[in-house]
Chains A and B, each alone.
Chain A
Amino acid sequence: MMRFPQQFTRNKDAVRTLQRETIEEHLFSGRGRLRYFGLTSSALGDVRQWNDLFEVFYAVERGEEGKEWELQHELELEAFRSGLFNKVKLLRGDIDLVIKNKRDMFGNSAPFPFHVISLDYSGGLFYREPSGRFGRLQAIAQAIAHQAGKQQHFVLLLSANLDQVDQGEVRRTLENVRTELVRYGVAGEQVIDKYLSHPRDEARLKIYIPYFINQEAAKNRYSCETSPVIFYEGNLSTPMMAFRIYLRFDNRTQALRSPKERLSQLFNKPLLQIKDGEIHATMMELPKIASDAETTNAKQRWPHP
């Protein structure tokens, strides 16, 4: 049966506009020659919106189990209809496996590095593999490692819904952050308490995801620049979050360094809420932390990776 390209909300369009701003901010000089890897949708919304920036889009589509070919076919058809047939390279299979193997399930290559890695997950980020590991987060870490192998600066775009947020994992991580802040003499105890007790997961994920990326980046000699985190309602009123992080490779030293992005920067940046396509900055009634102490202890800001 014929599939219809996924339809997107005005909110999603606004997210793409903000993502585009991030790409242009960091990669403007490569405009027209950029290489994209990630999860588009069968409607190719982001591909069409960013077409002028990119030379090629490696689009991963797993499809629905048992009829994988349907959505994959739809994606290619949409690319053809949109005049993007030769720019879009379809990679078939689960994105985590494609990242791991640098190939899709039919042996087609995912030729790292890329300028933009866009992981627009329709589900949550906390999917656990049978081994108990967080498969998606591991895949993100692997993608960063692949990029580092080629010393490529890049923009990482992450979108996910708030399904199955692993509260234990998130809280453990925020407690670690608390310990670090205390260690560096930052008065962050109450701030962390506010984040932990906040009724919305968005508050905690605002710290958790950039913190995770910063850690993985530092392991691979990247420094991060995180743009304000976005939250919005997606299709069927699903709460969604979107992260935009620029990873700059530091080839000046072989030694691994602590993340350069300050924790206070992550805490003190407002979130961007998108409602009916409109963008609003909000702190969600979350407190800021004083950044002076952290600055004083600049060399010990983060634990060594």
Chain B
Amino acid sequence: MAKSERFAYGSVLEALSRGLYPDKRHILREFVQNSYDSLAEFRRKHPKRQLQPIEVKIQAPSIFIADHGLGMSETEIRQYRYLGYSQKERAKHAGFRGIGKYSALAMAEKIIVDTSPFGAAKRFQVIIHADRMIADAQQRRNRPLEEILEENAEFSNAPANEDDHYTFVELHGLSRESASLLDIDDVRGYLSGTAPVPFDPQFRHSKEIQQKLRENIPDFLAVDLMLNGQPIYKPYFSDCQSPEFETILYRDDQSDVSAYCWYCQHSEKGQYDPRERAGLVFRVKNIAVGDGQLSRQMLWKKTPERAFYFFGEIHVLDADVTPSSDRTVFEDNPARQNLANRCLRISSNLNRKAGDESALRRFDEALDSAVSAISYRERQMKEGELPLELKDDIIYEIRTIQDDIQKRLRGPKNAKTLNRAKRIVGRSRRLIQSLKEAGFLDLAAELKFNPRLRLLYDSVIEVLREEFREDPERLERVVRRIHETARTRLK
């Protein structure tokens, strides 16, 4: 094979820069991910040193992403210019493909990277002239990729303070199609749901969850991230029940952990709103993969709406489960399949909880209406307003309520509902007993109906009862009107 043969050409750059991340925010996440890896590496090597936040600053025409991580050595920063080259390990780092930085080519005119490695009195700078690269690839057809990269990526170095350790990236001269990245609120929302940031201290379960994640996820790390000087935290809903935790084993007969999950259930009725922040979010190295929709699609085969009765995270620990480049899904491989299968128990568990919660809520609602109906009849009985014609119907009504409660008591219940139900059943029993013994309004006796009139009246009531069998409330209204009218006219 001739040595001069070239196997990669300029149009690859365009495909990479435009095709890889249609959502430009993923490009920003790539750089945040690099900062995170650098900080994680710094912590591994200097566990006693305090980590400083990742800083993101957005101000037209640039975005800056900077960290006081380990920094890059001369070799590493030189390699930074290479496409698809990375020394990072899949198991240890969030990013590992070495293509993320080049995804920014169509986004900015220049990618300027300054770095100073920890412990070295040196600083290095790489300037990737993205505008020139793209123009080169477009104007000079079939130009070898290597030439384009080499000509348009500068490297320089200078002495520096030995105490400095940082990587500072400027994406300068944002393109018009990347203007959405200047929307700070939108970027804040995106990073909040995606980046490996801590929980909001206002979230009352934050400490407990953070503690559990530290205990159960090796090398778990959440790093402070500032966007234009304001901290970013993971999103949460305050109307939630206490968190629950689940460890997903790789196989039932093995102790290898495939994923670790936490979730909080909605303390109110139904799904969380907005749904974009609800559901369980997969995370690899504490960086989100997709959003709540991904877990819904992967795990909720039935009753998918119940996925959004919860919010939480599934931290994937199986190193073979690989996020796609844009981290919207996982690459399809056996590990992913295994993860999906193993995590099905999470969804079935949550479905059961959501079902129980719904049943419990309906039970409470049924108890509310039972109390209301019983109180109403008790009041009428006390005031002697119950027509004799409705005696059986009313007793039947109360008995039906009693039966319904007893039936629901066989389903999901908590202590509060159980006690309340028992009290209401007792009350209904007493009411039935009282109804049996109580005096009812006897219209025929009151108005002194003769036997023939009484027979006629009983016949009318019987017909009405049959007619309004499906609508006892209407029957009651009609009977009461008959009482009123008869008293007015016949007295």
The answer to whether A73 and B59 touch across the interface, beta carbons within 8 angstroms, is no
Q: Please tell me if B168 contacts chain A, counting CB pairs below 8 Å.
A: yes
* Beta-carbon contact of B172 and A69 below 8 Å: yes
In chain B, positions 161-182 with a C-beta closer than 8 Å to chain A are 164, 166, 168, 170, 172-173
Q: Are A81 and B166 in contact (CB under 8 A)?
A: yes
The reply to whether the CB of B114 lies closer than 8 angstroms to some CB of chain A is yes
- Among B61, B114, B168, the residue within 8 A (CB) of A106 is B61
- Does B57 make an interface contact (CB < 8 A)? yes
A107 proximity list for chain B (CB < 8 A): 60
Check B158–A73 contact: CB distance below 8 A. Answer: no
Q: How far is the CB of A212 from chain B (nearest CB, A)?
A: 33
Contact between B110 and A69 (Cβ–Cβ < 8 Å)?
yes
* Residues of chain A in range 1-24 having any CB-CB distance to chain B below 8 Å: 1-2, 4
Cβ-defined contact, A2 with B166, below 8 A? no
B239 lies within 8 A of chain A by Cβ: no
Given contacts A89-B59, A107-B60, contact A2 B157 (CB under 8 A): yes
Q: Which residue of A lies closest to B161 (CB)?
A: A81
> Which residues of the partner chain B approach A73 to less than 8 Å between Cβ atoms?
112, 170, 172
Cβ-defined contact, B125 with A2, below 8 A = yes
1/0 per position for A96-114, CB-CB distance to B under 8 A? 0000000000111000000
Q: Contact check, A4 vs B173: say whether CB atoms are below 8 A apart.
A: no
Please tell me the size bucket of the interface on B.
Answer: 20 to 34
Residues of A within 8 A of B172 (CB): 69, 73
CB pair A86–B229 under 8 Å, yes or no, is: yes
A81 to B164, CA, bound (A): 8
Given contacts A69-B110, A69-B172, A85-B66, contact A1 B156 (CB under 8 A): yes
Interface check B64, CB cutoff 8 A: yes
Cβ of A67 to closest chain B Cβ, rounded Å: 10
Cα–Cα, bound, A107→B174 (Å): 14
Give A229 to B301 CA distance when docked, in angstroms. Answer: 79
Given contacts A2-B125, A4-B158, A86-B55, contact A76 B170 (CB under 8 A): yes
Question: In the assembled complex, which residues on chain B have CB atoms less than 8 Å from the CB atom of A80?
Answer: 55, 64, 66, 166, 168
Chain A residues with Cβ below 8 Å from B229 are 86
Q: In the complex, what's the smallest C-beta–C-beta distance from B104 to chain A, in angstroms? A: 15
Count CB-based A-B contacts (< 8 Å): 49
Asked if B154 lies at the interface with its beta carbon under 8 angstroms from chain A, I say yes
What are the residues of chain A within 8 A of B168 when measuring CB–CB?
76-77, 80-81
A90 at the interface (CB under 8 A from B): yes
- Are A86 and B166 interface neighbours, CB within 8 A? no
Query: What A residues does B164 contact at CB under 8 A?
Result: 81
Cβ-closest chain B residue relative to A74: B114
Nearest-CB residue, chain B, relative to A92? B61
B403 to chain A minimum Cβ distance, whole angstroms, is 66
Scan A78-95; emit 1 where CB is below 8 A from any B CB, else 0.
001100011001101000
Query: How long is the Cα–Cα vector from A90 to B64 in the complex, in angstroms?
Result: 12
In the assembled complex, which residues on chain B have CB atoms less than 8 Å from the CB atom of A85?
A: 55, 57, 64, 66
B228 in contact (CB, < 8 A)? yes
Residue of B nearest to A105 (CB): B61
Tell me the complex Cα distance, A77–B125, Å: 11
Closest A residue to B112 by CB, please name it. A73
B381 contacts chain A at the CB level, 8 A cutoff: no
Query: Do A86 and B158 touch across chains, with their CB atoms under 8 A apart?
Result: no
Q: Could you tell me if B114 and A108 are in contact, using CB atoms closer than 8 angstroms?
A: no
Is B226 in the interface zone, CB < 8 Å from A?
yes
Chain B residues with CB under 8 Å of A92's CB are 61
Docked pose: A118 CA to B313 CA in angstroms: 50
CB distance from B41 to the nearest CB of A (A): 19
- Give the contacting residue for A2; candidates B55, B64, B158, B170; CB below 8 A: B158
Q: List 21 A-B contacts (CB under 8 A).
A: A2-B123, A2-B156, A69-B110, A69-B172, A73-B172, A76-B168, A76-B170, A77-B114, A77-B168, A80-B55, A80-B64, A81-B166, A81-B168, A85-B57, A85-B64, A86-B226, A86-B229, A90-B59, A92-B61, A106-B60, A107-B60
Interface residues of A (CB under 8 A from B): 1-2, 4, 69, 73, 76-77, 80-81, 85-86, 89-90, 92, 106-108
Instruction: Kindly list the 5 A-B residue pairs having the minimum CB-CB distance in the complex, ordered from nearest.
Output: A86-B229, A106-B60, A2-B156, A2-B125, A80-B66
Known: A2-B123, A80-B166. 16 other contacts (CB 8 A): A1-B156, A2-B156, A2-B157, A2-B158, A69-B110, A76-B64, A76-B170, A77-B114, A80-B55, A81-B166, A85-B55, A86-B55, A86-B228, A90-B59, A92-B61, A106-B59
> Residues of B with Cβ closer than 8 Å to A?
55, 57, 59-62, 64, 66, 110, 112, 114, 123, 125, 154, 156-158, 164, 166, 168, 170, 172-173, 226, 228-229
